[in-house]
Amino acid sequence: MKFIGILFLLFFACVSIENSYSSSIESALIQGENYIEITFSASPDRQLASALSITPDITVKNFTIDDRTIQIVTNETLKLSEHYYLHWNNGKKFLVPYGILDSLYSDKDLGYTISDQGIIFRLFAPRAKWVRLVIYNAFEDERGSEYQMIRDNQGVWEFQLSQDFIGKSYGYRLWGPQGNGELFDSTIVVADPYSLAVATLNHYTHPAKTLILEEDNFNWENGGWISQSWKDLIIYEMHIRDLTAHSSSGLPLEDRGFYTSLLKPDQKGGLPYIKNLGVNAVELLPAQDFGNLEIPYKDENAPVYNTWNPYAKNHWGYMTSYFFAPESYYAYGNFLTEGQICGSDGRQIREFKTMVKAFHENEIAVLMDVVYNHVSQYDYNPLKYIDKFYYFRLEEDCSFTSVSGCGNDLKTERPMARRLIVDSVIHWMQEYQVDGFRFDLAKLIDWKTIDAIREAALQVNPGVILIAEPWGGGYDPSGFSDHGWAAWNDQIRNGVKGQNPDEGLGFIFGAWQGENNTNSLRRYITGSLRKDGGQFNKSAHSVNYLESHDDHTMGDFIRLGLKDVSENQIIKNLKKHNTLSTEQLKLNKLAALFLFTSQGPIMIHEGQEYARSKVIAPTSAPDPDIGKIDHNSYNKDNETNWLNFALAEANQSLIDYYRGLIKFRKAHPVFRHAAPSDYQFFDTPDSLLVGFQLHGAESQYLVYLNGSRTNTQKVTLPAGKWGVLVDGSRAGAESFRRIRINELDILPGNGMVLVKQ
């Protein structure tokens, strides 16, 4: 241990530290090869700085004090694969490798690359002491052939083999610094974070091996991205299994729930159902390979005692494991039976492409819901074992931060983490012809990465769709709009429907939720523009929605808001419960009409079109809430989430209404492309009546929306002859009746759209 300063200075410094600076170090970071930065809770002095020492033995060249920070320059180079400690007065503080890691960057191809010379494997693992490539002849093999890899000066480890290894699988065994929360573990072989396809074992640790596959020369024929304005989007948020997994889809059991299931022609679900509805885009809930299984429920032998998930599953997919690989569970013939393997033949690649191609052939864009803010919590995710300190945001004690609420937050601002995210986005665009993305908890992604994603994606496809979920450690839809992204507009959701069905009801209930007022309702309609007090620079950035996978379905929100059912009620008659009452149907239609007459892209969630109820299905899982309404069904790969088309038929009139609204919106572009100056809002005697005239290039329109539960609103029409496009009973592209009087009654909970003839 090499001390700085002379003995009497050291003595007084120790007294100073003991009396004034005990436990006062806020951070101690290695910021460069020869640079350490220590921040205190109060301004340090030179005596304090002189008393500090570093082990293993490192001599200090000089130091400076800047406010509460001591900046130390060392003579020796600090090694990435070594742990260093700061000492003072018998105290000890781990020096966290921090800014030093940002100095490393490589443009080399990562993962494996096949050429005439063979297969070259590359892994970025900057602090590893050694890395071994492990090749397996078969996934079931417990042992494989191991090869010592070679590190370059930017932290990339490499090894080359002949092409004879195509068709096999591989992983990496690593070793690195120990202690202080490190996760280097040479007993675990992790798959490649750049895996294009993985085979996984059905277990909560999600053991995986990377498949070495020949290039898939998929024939896209005349395919390509779907080109359309963001303003024209009518998005159907869907889960790949949910659209075909229920018996009511009409498919045999062995054909349900896969990528290919969606494409079967003779069924009530899947692509035929989506096409018939008329939407022009689908947004797939996460389909990058993810941790399907969670810690066993209430198992005292498990590493974490699971009291929250009796199903021990992650159905929605928001626990990504491999950012470049399609989810293998959705490939035909794969199941989650314990101990079985999913994806061992790599068919998930071809089947995902076939699915995208089929949607494109039907002029439906494909968006992916992607999760780059955290990774799967309990699995052998490679980033955790390759370099926790590089890839993750950490607390002071070196544990993972969990602003995402999912146990670990990615440090997206690291150069090679940013590159991984951008590479992944481009991979899905180029290899799978994906048209766009919705980014989960996007506020957790740093702005530089947000800009890098947009810049790279636009170079590949100038029409790419980028949508943020604008929260996660903050809330900033305006910020995303400034960076050229669209974002979910939760304000229109809360204003129209409400924030919660107990005390936060919105417009359709005749209530004023939160900041709702006449101006806010008008603002939602014209695109939630910032100049009007909204969040967005342009209406194309406002993704308007009333329901998503999160929280209650809108159908259940309305059932609960009307007090037709309670949260703790056991639903005994599912068909009766799902079949809409007159009042429930009326509110569902009014909400939908408000949505479809508002400027900005539209998103509806699967089943919203028939007011689906998520009643927790009977199951072998020990769920005490079976039979109750579910507001967070992330863990249920069962009939709670699967679309029941028999129940949908009971509410066929609402499906027809949504189908009519979609036709109406497509046929009348002014409801997608109007400027605020095209609107003339009417002053009405009741603040719960919204009325306006919209001036289009080819015609003029009148829209009335009556949020009152009790009051019929009498309106006087402007001069002219008017036809009805939408009323409380039906909707469509063409006028279906004439108005022959100049006054109309807008009934409670109803709306109308008229077109000048």
Residue 25 confidence class, pLDDT cut points 50, 70, 90: confident
Quote the pLDDT of residue 223. 78
Q: What is the CATH number of domain 103-211?
A: 2.60.40.10
The gap from C-alpha 641 to its chain's centroid, in whole angstroms, comes to 18
Quote the pLDDT of residue 512. 72
Same fold, 7-102 and 103-211: yes
Residue 514 confidence class, pLDDT cut points 50, 70, 90: low
Burial label for 22, CB within 10 Å (0-12, 13-18, 19+), is exposed
For residue range 280-323, what is the model confidence (pLDDT) as tens digits? 999 999 999 999 999 999 999 999 999 999 999 999 999 999 99
pLDDT, average across residues 533-542: 97
Per-residue pLDDT for 33 more than 70?
yes
For residue range 335-356, what is the model confidence (pLDDT) as tens digits? 999 889 999 999 999 999 999 9
Cα 715 from Cα 133, distance rounded (Å): 75
Residue 386 confidence class, pLDDT cut points 50, 70, 90: very high
Quote the pLDDT of residue 216. 87
Domain 7-102 classified CATH 1.10.340.30? no
Which one of 3.40.50.620, 3.20.20.150, 3.40.50.150, 2.60.40.1180 gives the CATH number of domain 676-756?
A: 2.60.40.1180
Burial label for 395, CB within 10 Å (0-12, 13-18, 19+), is exposed
SS3 at position 731: strand
Question: SS3 helix, strand, coil % of the chain, rounded to 5?
Answer: 25, 25, 45
Per-residue pLDDT for 74 more than 90?
yes
Burial label for 301, CB within 10 Å (0-12, 13-18, 19+), is exposed
Burial label for 28, CB within 10 Å (0-12, 13-18, 19+), is buried
pLDDT, average across residues 34-49: 88
Over pLDDT 90: what percentage of the chain?
A: 88
Per-residue pLDDT for 40 more than 70?
yes
For residue range 86-115, what is the model confidence (pLDDT) as tens digits? 998 768 899 999 999 999 999 999 999 999
The gap from C-alpha 231 to its chain's centroid, in whole angstroms, comes to 21
For residue range 118-136, what is the model confidence (pLDDT) as tens digits? 999 999 999 999 999 999 9
pLDDT, average across residues 438-458: 98
For residue range 732-756, what is the model confidence (pLDDT) as tens digits? 999 999 998 899 999 999 999 999 9
Cα 558 from Cα 564, distance rounded (Å): 9
Domain-wise residue ranges, the chain:
7-102, 103-211, 676-756
Per-residue pLDDT for 52 more than 90?
no
For residue range 390-419, what is the model confidence (pLDDT) as tens digits? 999 999 999 999 999 999 999 999 999 999
For residue range 152-200, what is the model confidence (pLDDT) as tens digits? 999 999 999 998 999 999 999 999 999 999 999 999 999 999 999 999 9
Kindly tell me the sign of the dihedral angle through the C-alpha atoms of 187, 188, 194, 199: positive
